[in-house]
Amino acid sequence: MKRSVLPEPTVRDIPEASGDVLRPTMTDRRTFLRAALGGTVIAALGGAYYLVDDDATRRARGATLADGRPRLPPNQHVISRIKPMGGQEGDPNPNAFRLNVYGEVEAPFVLDFAALLAMPQVTQTCDVHCVTKWSLLDSHWTGVKIADLAARAKLKSAARYVIFESAHGYSANVPIHEALKPNALLAHRYEGQALPLTHGAPVRAVVPDLYFWKSAKWLTAIHFVGSDQPGYWETRGYSNHADPWKEERYS
């Protein structure tokens, strides 16, 4: 396996951010993206480097999804292990977990961890794609479909977006049609184990068809709204939609 490294980009560590994203300065961000196009390894926070699997990347670029899209979105590189991308952690204690499901619904409710486990559970295999250009293939997540939560809350036709609300005021906005896809989950297990703290314990969103910062960690609420409410990163220069196959990284 051929491996190479890129110098670490200059980043600003924003502790209150709960999404999976690096935040370079505006100048360094453009420089980093230009450099990353030709590299096989992408630098991480704190001086660590992301060593990518060139063979897996080539194979993924030659594969297609059932809907005809390439399996690997443009300019992504395959890694073998999910990367912790920072953020200010919430309370990982399942006994303290409360999820408020509210907004454009007829039957808002608050869910504790035991009630979440009592709902129908799904385990799915999916690929996830970070805006910093790494992709993890065939990751395994267990949780509850966001569509099932919407059905329980009796979603109104006026709902157009889901706002994921997380610890310390973080939020991420997702169009309702993306949030209600069968592969969009509230996950509490990763690779057969309880979700690690660094990845959002006890519960995080997983929306595989969008860049991974949309899959907010340390969830506290799901807010169904009629008009868009751009979240933490979206108001700081990141794409409002974040489709990896269209490279919607920044606005």
Which pLDDT tens digit goes with each residue over 216-234? 999 999 999 999 999 999 9
In a domain, 134, yes or no: no
Number of folded domains that form the chain = 1
Q: 184 pLDDT exceeds 60?
A: yes
- The pLDDT tens digits of the residues spanning 127-153 come to 999 999 999 999 999 999 999 999 999
E-assigned strands of 37-105? Answer: 41-43, 49-51, 77-79, 98-103
> Looking at residue 144, what is its pLDDT?
98
In a domain, 186, yes or no: yes
Computed from CA positions of residues 63, 20, 217, 47, in that sequence, does the dihedral angle turn out positive or negative? positive
Helix (H) or strand (E) holding 176: helix 176-179
Q: Which range, 7-11, 82-86, 94-98, has the best average confidence (pLDDT)?
A: 94-98
In a domain, 87, yes or no: no
CA–CA gap between residue 228 and residue 159 (Å, rounded)? 10
> Looking at residue 187, what is its pLDDT?
98
pTM: 0.83
> Looking at residue 51, what is its pLDDT?
66
In a domain, 26, yes or no: no
Q: 242 pLDDT exceeds 90?
A: yes
> Looking at residue 85, what is its pLDDT?
87
Rg (CA), the chain: 18
Q: 24 pLDDT exceeds 50?
A: no
In a domain, 62, yes or no: no
Q: 76 pLDDT exceeds 70?
A: yes
CA quadruple 191, 196, 198, 204: dihedral, nearest 10: 80
> Looking at residue 22, what is its pLDDT?
52
pLDDT band for 172, please (50, 70, 90 cuts).
Answer: very high
User: In terms of residue numbers, what domain contains 227?
Assistant: 94-124+139-246
> Looking at residue 191, what is its pLDDT?
97
Q: Look over the chain and give the mean of its residue pLDDT values, rounded to a whole number.
A: 86
In a domain, 16, yes or no: no
> Looking at residue 120, what is its pLDDT?
98
> Looking at residue 100, what is its pLDDT?
98
Poorest-pLDDT segment among 77-86, 111-120, 175-184, 222-231:
77-86
In a domain, 131, yes or no: no
DSSP one-letter code for 118: H
In a domain, 21, yes or no: no
Poorest-pLDDT segment among 11-15, 127-131, 173-177:
11-15
Q: How many H-runs (helices) and E-runs (strands) does the chain carry?
A: 5, 13
Q: 236 pLDDT exceeds 70?
A: yes
The enclosing domain of 230 has a CATH number of: 3.90.420.10
Nearest residue to 234 via CA among 207, 201, 206, 211: 211
- The pLDDT tens digits of the residues spanning 48-66 come to 456 678 899 999 999 999 9
